[in-house]
Amino acid sequence: MKNILVGQSGGPTAVINASLYGVIRAGMERQEQIGHIYGMVHGIEGFLQGRCMDLGKELSKEELELLKITPAAYLGSCRYMLPEDLSAPIYPTIFERLKALEIGCLFYIGGNDSMDTVSKLSRYGKSIGSEIRFIGIPKTVDNDLVETDHTPGYGSAAKYVAGTVREIVLDASVYHKESVTIVELMGRHAGWLTAASVLARKQEGDDPVLIYLPEAAFDMETFASDLKRALAKRSCVVVCVSEGIHDASGRFICEYGDQAQVDGFGHKMLTGCGKVLEHFVRERLGVKVRSVELNVSQRCSGMLMSATDLAEAEMAGRKGVAAALEGETGVMIAFRRAERGPYGTDYVTVDVDQICNREKVFPTEWIGGQGNDIGQGFIDYVQPLIAGEVVRPMADGVPVYLYRER
Amino acid sequence: MKNILVGQSGGPTAVINASLYGVIRAGMERQEQIGHIYGMVHGIEGFLQGRCMDLGKELSKEELELLKITPAAYLGSCRYMLPEDLSAPIYPTIFERLKALEIGCLFYIGGNDSMDTVSKLSRYGKSIGSEIRFIGIPKTVDNDLVETDHTPGYGSAAKYVAGTVREIVLDASVYHKESVTIVELMGRHAGWLTAASVLARKQEGDDPVLIYLPEAAFDMETFASDLKRALAKRSCVVVCVSEGIHDASGRFICEYGDQAQVDGFGHKMLTGCGKVLEHFVRERLGVKVRSVELNVSQRCSGMLMSATDLAEAEMAGRKGVAAALEGETGVMIAFRRAERGPYGTDYVTVDVDQICNREKVFPTEWIGGQGNDIGQGFIDYVQPLIAGEVVRPMADGVPVYLYRER
């Protein structure tokens, strides 16, 4: 199949490099079929600017093993959409570059938008009769890709959320005083990550007692009464919310603060919904309140990497190479969960056109309470995804990661 | 010595329970001298309200081992200052309660304010000829206690900061675009925790390239030129700042945003300095900018617990019991570092009056650059404190911690 090319795109995750590792390792194991293993630096955008590296040559064996457990995106990433119009001049440019490097297959590791890139390139390729194959490897902490049981990156992010919220609950409960702690979690449209905070509970009815996802309309008055009810039962209440919660009209809660908040230069302050709710609670309930935004650590921390997630991410990369060698193109590797018996994953290929530009939201049947809780169905779904610990190399007291020379 | 009583006070840390464990274990090992080991629930405040537990009886052997590696404050905490006037009626009340429980020694695990409590109780006790002993066990992530090389809790918090900032640097560097990431760290008056972010660098000159502590006056214009210089050398710049940075006049940078920021109810928004700087950078430099506040996880996370810190925290508790049995009172256990040879700690006792209400700021000779960097002196100081990994028990993919029944 000549040489292969692999790129990473979209936001970082704890295990996106494990998928890259899977592609590289599988490529190396098929030396009779695969020549060079090139990496795009900064995705398709960097590739267009000529940034490329020879992964098979430039990484030592030790570096390759370190790559596997290094979070973020080793090759660098981009957020770059190819034009809808396949007659745009950028397409022949890309294919000339691919031809110059004698590329037989391009692997693109990413989410929705990255699958759109795979779709366009494979459709253009077919239109000109090119034999180059294009394979998508799924990746997103948001877990919002359709046609797959879950996505690599989600398990580790969910585990980080569960473990960190458990610690925040411990922290929030040390004082005797009535208090509310609001934890804002990632998820603009889909509540998958926020839902994982349910795993922080040591038992049912425990903190976080209230969990709100974007999939259920959020109402400030209902929130106030939910809180009052919770505070009547316990003095310390922990609430988890998705950044993207919105009211029934579709207006984001984080926008509630916008009009009033301007910075020292008269510009609108962009504040998260956690801060907006914090101020609301202080005003309405008069209790001690704090908001915590977990921020980028949710997606880039390797501290609570899931061994299951790590293994599946690598396997997604390996299965991508296998699919390409079998002649597939325009497909993404997807996960199918064993329907009965112990947890297990089958790897299949799905037409990328079915995946790109679609979003898998959190199933409403898994939202419990009055839109403020998460049901057992989700717990059963997510539990295996966060299972297993990864031992990380440490030096001088800090985790050792692989860095690309810049 | 009859029974002993132990309490926790002030903010949580990753290892405050290891000190509690040290007191309990040392107490159990001296059964010939010590009867019951009581715990105050919610510190001296809860004790005054009659909240107490029998730690020697109520904790199983397994729970005791779990207690050791559980972050936050198992017994609950308080922020409660005893009156300056030792003739206040609260003092006889406390001593009657201590007498009723036949307490021979009270151990109070905490920071500055907690040592103030130890001081007042021991002074009052001496004034009435009481034989009850009062021992302070140091604890604070701020590392701001005088008369001790460092404090339990700091090593783990510093390690968490170093590891997390290293991951944020990876995350911040994935895109090719010019960007600034501002990480706001704990430390209102002392920069010890923020300084630990220097350990996130893989080599000198690496991100975080700019580090600002409260010990050096912060100037917005100097910050802008520091940033411009840094951006000329690299596209992604990571900056770490203490929450308490202030200008030469003493005005906190977080207050710069106050006047303009009001919430939807017309109230002032309390925003961290990270957000203020984020808006300043967007306005002045026009680059992509993000601010991240690590928040409570710095103090309560057990994810990057330092084995050195954990062992020293336990030892501080044990040495407290030993000091009490030797008849000491009105003292705090302090750490003395071996002056030469490999890292080692001696445990001594120091008069609490020398400690309470004083603050150890970060030495200015360890601040490098033009007040925007950290020198090698600090790196040599802090490196041993974050050394060593702690394996934590996990169940269902999340850390297992000990909870007090509420």
Helix (H) or strand (E) holding A294: none
- Residue type at A47 in one-letter notation: F
% of chain B at pLDDT higher than 70? 96
Helix (H) or strand (E) holding B67: helix B61-68
Check CB contact under 8 Å for A300 and B168: yes
Q: Considering only CB atoms, which chain A residues are within 8 Å of B394?
A: 389
Closest CA to B202 of B174, B227, B165: B165
* Whether pLDDT at B258 is above 70: no
Q: Taking the model in full, what pTM does it have?
A: 0.96
- Per-residue confidence band for B260, with pLDDT thresholds at 50, 70 and 90: very low
Q: Which comes out higher in pLDDT, residue B296 or A262?
A: B296
Q: How much is the pLDDT for A260? A: 46
Q: Distance (Å, rounded) from C-alpha A30 to C-alpha A392?
A: 28
Helix axes A112-127, A90-100, angle to 10 degrees: 80
> In this structure, are strands A288-293 and A179-185 parallel, antiparallel, or unpaired?
parallel
Alpha helices in B140-191 (DSSP H): 154-172
Q: In angstroms, what CA-CA distances link A57 with A4, A36, A60, A64?
A: 13, 8, 8, 11
Task: Give one DSSP letter per residue of B9-36, joined into a string.
Answer: -SS--SSHHHHHHHHHHHHHHTTTTEEE
* Whether pLDDT at A269 is above 60: no
DSSP bridge partners of B108 = B7, B136
Please pick, among A116, A142, A144, A309, the residue that the annotation labels catalytic. A142
* Whether pLDDT at A257 is above 90: no
Check CB contact under 8 Å for B389 and A394: yes
Cβ(A169)–Cβ(A156) below 8 Å: no
Cβ(A288)–Cβ(A179) below 8 Å: yes
Q: Distance (Å, rounded) from C-alpha B388 to C-alpha A5?
A: 40
* Rg, chain A, Cα only: 23
Mean pLDDT of chain A: 94
Q: Distance (Å, rounded) from C-alpha A227 to C-alpha A93?
A: 58
Q: Considering only CB atoms, which chain A residues are within 8 Å of B164?
A: 297, 301, 303
Q: In angstroms, what CA-CA distances link A389 with A304, A386, B102, B344?
A: 7, 9, 47, 32
- Per-residue confidence band for A270, with pLDDT thresholds at 50, 70 and 90: low
Q: Considering only CB atoms, which chain A residues are within 8 Å of B275?
A: 269
Cβ(A390)–Cβ(A399) below 8 Å: no
Q: Which two tokens mark B233?
A: 């050398």
Mean pLDDT of A214-236: 96
SS3 B291: strand
Q: Distance (Å, rounded) from C-alpha A330 to C-alpha A336?
A: 19
SS3 B52: strand
Q: How much is the pLDDT for B316? A: 98
* Rg, chain B, Cα only: 23
Give residue-wise pLDDT tens across range A373-405.
999 999 999 999 999 999 999 999 999 999 987
Residue for token pair 């307490």: B103
How would you class B265 by CB atoms within 10 Å of its CB: exposed for 0-12, middle for 13-18, buried for 19 or more?
exposed
Give residue-wise pLDDT tens across range A295-332.
999 999 999 999 999 999 999 999 999 999 999 999 99
Q: Which two tokens mark A19?
A: 């998928």
Q: Which residues contact A128 (CB under 8 A, 6 or more apart)?
A: A95
Cβ(B143)–Cβ(B41) below 8 Å: no
Helix axes B307-325, B154-172, angle to 10 degrees: 170
* Whether pLDDT at A263 is above 60: no
Q: Considering only CB atoms, which chain A residues are within 8 Å of B299?
A: 171
Check CB contact under 8 Å for B295 and A297: no
Number of neighbours of residue B344 by Cβ within 10 angstroms? 10
Q: Which two tokens mark B33?
A: 């001298």
Catalytic positions of B: 142
- Residue type at A310 in one-letter notation: L
**Measured between CB atoms, which of A78, A260, A300 is closest to B167?**
A300
Chain A closest CA to B171's CA: distance in Å? 5
How would you class A32 by CB atoms within 10 Å of its CB: exposed for 0-12, middle for 13-18, buried for 19 or more?
exposed
SS3 B176: coil
Check CB contact under 8 Å for B299 and A167: no
Mean pLDDT of B366-384: 96
DSSP bridge partners of A262 = A268
Give residue-wise pLDDT tens across range B167-186.
999 999 999 999 999 999 99
Peptide linkage before A208 cis (omega within 30 of 0): yes
How far is the first Cα of chain A from the last one, in angstroms, to the nearest whole number? Answer: 30
Q: What are phi and psi of A69, to 5 degrees?
A: -105, 15
Pick the range with the lowest mean pLDDT from A289-293, B107-111, B201-205. B201-205
B261 to chain A: closest CA residue: A261
Angle at CA of residue A335, ends A333 and A340, nearest 5°: 155
Task: Give one DSSP letter per residue of B211-268, joined into a string.
Answer: EE-TTS---HHHHHHHHHHHHHH-SEEEEEEETT-B-TTS-BGGGGGTTTBB-TTSPB
Q: Which two tokens mark A215?
A: 């999939």
Q: How much is the pLDDT for B405? A: 78
How far is the first Cα of chain B from the last one, in angstroms, to the nearest whole number? Answer: 30
B293 to chain A: closest CA residue: A293
Q: Which two tokens mark A304?
A: 């609570």
**Strands of B42-132, DSSP E:** 52-54, 103-110
Interface probe with B: pick from A296, A299, A308, A405, most Cβ of B within 10 Å? A296
Check CB contact under 8 Å for A76 and B301: no
Q: How much is the pLDDT for B268? A: 53
* Whether pLDDT at B269 is above 60: no
Q: In angstroms, what CA-CA distances link B170 with A72, A220, A305, A317, A400?
A: 6, 37, 16, 21, 12
Q: Distance (Å, rounded) from C-alpha A180 to C-alpha A327?
A: 56
* Whether pLDDT at A261 is above 80: no
Give residue-wise pLDDT tens across range B10-63.
999 999 999 999 999 999 999 899 999 999 999 999 999 999 999 999 999 999
B297 to chain A: closest CA residue: A168
Rounded-to-10 torsion of CA A15, A17, A23, A28? -130
**Measured between CB atoms, which of B263, B279, B293 is closest to A263?**
B279
Give residue-wise pLDDT tens across range A145-173.
999 999 999 999 999 999 999 999 999 99
Q: Which two tokens mark A358?
A: 């679609």
Q: Distance (Å, rounded) from C-alpha B25 to C-alpha B206?
A: 44
Q: Which comes out higher in pLDDT, residue B211 or A263?
A: B211
Closest CA to B192 of B264, B260, B155, B143: B143
Q: Distance (Å, rounded) from C-alpha A371 to C-alpha A217?
A: 8
Q: Distance (Å, rounded) from C-alpha A255 to C-alpha B81?
A: 41
Q: What are phi and psi of A68, to 5 degrees?
A: -55, -40
Q: How much is the pLDDT for B1? A: 67
Angle at CA of residue A176, ends A173 and A179, nearest 5°: 65
SS3 B311: helix
Q: Distance (Å, rounded) from C-alpha A66 to C-alpha A60?
A: 10
Mean pLDDT of A211-228: 97
Closest CA to B394 of A64, A168, A307, A378: A307
Chain B closest CA to A87's CA: distance in Å? 27
* Whether pLDDT at A343 is above 90: yes
* Whether pLDDT at B261 is above 60: no
Helix (H) or strand (E) holding A237: strand A236-242
Helix (H) or strand (E) holding A104: strand A103-110
Q: Considering only CB atoms, which chain B residues are within 8 Å of A261?
A: 261-263, 269
Angle at CA of residue B333, ends B331 and B337, nearest 5°: 135
Mean pLDDT of A39-51: 96
Q: Distance (Å, rounded) from C-alpha B49 to C-alpha B338?
A: 43
